[in-house]
Amino acid sequence: MNPMEYTMGERATALRAELRRLVAEHVPADYLGAFTDDPADLAVAQRFCEVLADRGLLCVAWPEEFGGGGGSPWEQTVVREEMWAHHEPRGAQYMGVNWVGPTIMRHGTPEQQRQHLPPIARGEVIWCQGFSEPEAGSDLASLRTAARPDGTGWRVSGQKIWTSYASMAQWCFLLARTSNGAKKQQGLTIFLVPMNAPGIVVRPIRSMLGPHHLNEVFFDDVRVGPADVLGTEGDGWRVVQEVLAFERVGIARYARCERLLQAAPDVLGDQWDDLPPELRARWTRMLVHCRRARLLAYRVVALQSDGRVTPGDAAAYRIAVTKLDQDSAEVLMEIVGAAALTGPDGLRYRRQVEDHWRYAQASTVASGSIEVQRVLLSRALLAAS
């Protein structure tokens, strides 16, 4: 295969058409995501997850024995692209689908797989990620949340921050320190913890992204047992590196950028020709950058399929797509600011662009800051030289 060409196949093409039809049928045209101040938007996402799950499309690439559709990674990529392009009508379910579930498949016990995977595949459960801490965000290995031995289990105490969906999640994918090693990456363990466990307190952090997104989570002597450990005790950092690679490619940010950019000439109509040539040139450049980010994403998907993905591969994509997110948002805001958009379609497009801009502000920090991604990419390039 040419490194610049990726063929998804006829099934993926048909799937894309079906997803667009389902979105048009079940998602309101004014929908801007599940986590607004209007509870009806969350209800839309919950119902749409049921629609996808009933058709075997929520986890289309999962093995059938785990409740999936047995499809290809490229079909799952199509789902990612169409969902993010249409303001993620799965709500928070992308987290369980994209990386919590696949990680449990790879490292979970049969009991953990039976307990957790079918509810994710049915869209019935929301997960949150207990990683970042007040003094351990980008430097995740420096976390202080500790799990102290307690007979046959542990007692977890500490604080997590910037935890998306913690106020509504049923389960937490938690990273805590169970021992101290020669390196700070050693002695970390992953626990699968129910959010209703005694000792867990969630406090929302208000932001311009709306409710439910960001939270502080406090763990006060929370009891966890051997059945809650994912993988091997003390080997959590190795699993986390794999998780982060899945997470960083799991959101197809380029798809929304491309959709909004391509819609601009039609929405503006005759006003498009009145835009400054320099602004239209930047618009063209953003479409080129969309193509670049898409190809980098496809490269990571291909490598993941062969089991060869490295942190450097995911980092290269992440740098490109988060910069695209922010740069395209600035161009789009200038475009809608220069035009007199009226009527339902014009006002709807303005709201979509503004929503995209708000989300883009945090894109170079979320899921690992862009500075950390540059370090990972630099290390990979030096190791290969």
Task: Provide the CATH number for the domain around residue 64.
Answer: 1.10.540.10
End residue of a domain, out of 125, 152, 178: 125
φ/ψ bin of 140: left (φ > 0), alpha (ψ from -120 to 50), beta (otherwise)? alpha
What six digits make up the tokens of 209? 């992204």
Considering the entire predicted model, what is its pTM? 0.85
Averaged pLDDT of the chain: 89
* Whether the predicted pLDDT of 63 surpasses 60: yes
Would the CA dihedral through 93, 94, 97, 103 be positive or negative? negative
CA distance 146 to 158: 6
Amino acid at 263: A
Q: Is the same domain home to 191 and 161?
A: yes
- Crossing angle of helices 236-250 and 277-305, in 10° steps, is 140
Q: Is the same domain home to 154 and 224?
A: yes
Instruction: Tell me what the mean pLDDT of segment 361-379 comes to.
Output: 74
Instruction: Tell me what the mean pLDDT of segment 342-368 comes to.
Output: 86
Q: Is the same domain home to 352 and 268?
A: yes
What local confidence, expressed as pLDDT, does residue 346 receive?
94
What local confidence, expressed as pLDDT, does residue 136 receive?
75
The model's pLDDT over 65-88, given as tens digits with 9 standing for 90+, comes to 998 889 888 898 999 999 999 999
For 122, half-sphere exposure in the C-beta direction (CA atoms, 13 angstrom radius) is 8
Instruction: Tell me what the mean pLDDT of segment 291-320 comes to.
Output: 81
End residue of a domain, out of 78, 104, 125: 125
User: Tokens 């998804």 identify what position?
Assistant: 8
Tell me the catalytic residues: 247
What is the band of 300 on the pLDDT scale with cuts at 50, 70, 90? confident
Q: Is the same domain home to 214 and 272?
A: no
* pLDDT over 70 percentage in the chain: 92
* Whether the predicted pLDDT of 362 surpasses 90: no
**Which is more confident, 24 or 365?**
24
CA distance 97 to 69: 12
| Total number of domains constituting the chain | 3
Q: Is the same domain home to 171 and 110?
A: no
Is 358 in contact with 366 (CB distance < 8 Å)? Answer: no
What six digits make up the tokens of 362? 């945090």
What is the band of 94 on the pLDDT scale with cuts at 50, 70, 90? confident
On whether residue 243 sits in a domain, the answer given is no
What local confidence, expressed as pLDDT, does residue 248 receive?
57
Measuring CA to CA, which residue among 173, 6, 29, 4 is closest to residue 77?
6
**Which is more confident, 360 or 284?**
284
Q: Is the same domain home to 136 and 105?
A: no
What is the band of 1 on the pLDDT scale with cuts at 50, 70, 90? very low
Domain harbouring 194, CATH code? 2.40.110.10
What six digits make up the tokens of 347? 């006002």
Q: Is the same domain home to 227 and 267?
A: no
* Whether the predicted pLDDT of 47 surpasses 60: yes
Main-chain dihedrals φ then ψ at residue 222, nearest 5 degrees: -80, 125
Q: Is the same domain home to 205 and 258?
A: no
CA distance 160 to 145: 8
What local confidence, expressed as pLDDT, does residue 154 receive?
97
What is the band of 141 on the pLDDT scale with cuts at 50, 70, 90? confident
Residue-number span of the structural domain to which 151 is assigned = 129-234
Q: Is the same domain home to 17 and 112?
A: yes
What is the band of 174 on the pLDDT scale with cuts at 50, 70, 90? very high
Give the range among 21-30, 175-184, 277-286 with minimum mean pLDDT. 175-184
Is 186 in contact with 142 (CB distance < 8 Å)? Answer: no
* pLDDT over 90 percentage in the chain: 60
What is the band of 217 on the pLDDT scale with cuts at 50, 70, 90? very high
What is the band of 52 on the pLDDT scale with cuts at 50, 70, 90? very high
* Whether the predicted pLDDT of 41 surpasses 50: yes
On whether residue 1 sits in a domain, the answer given is no
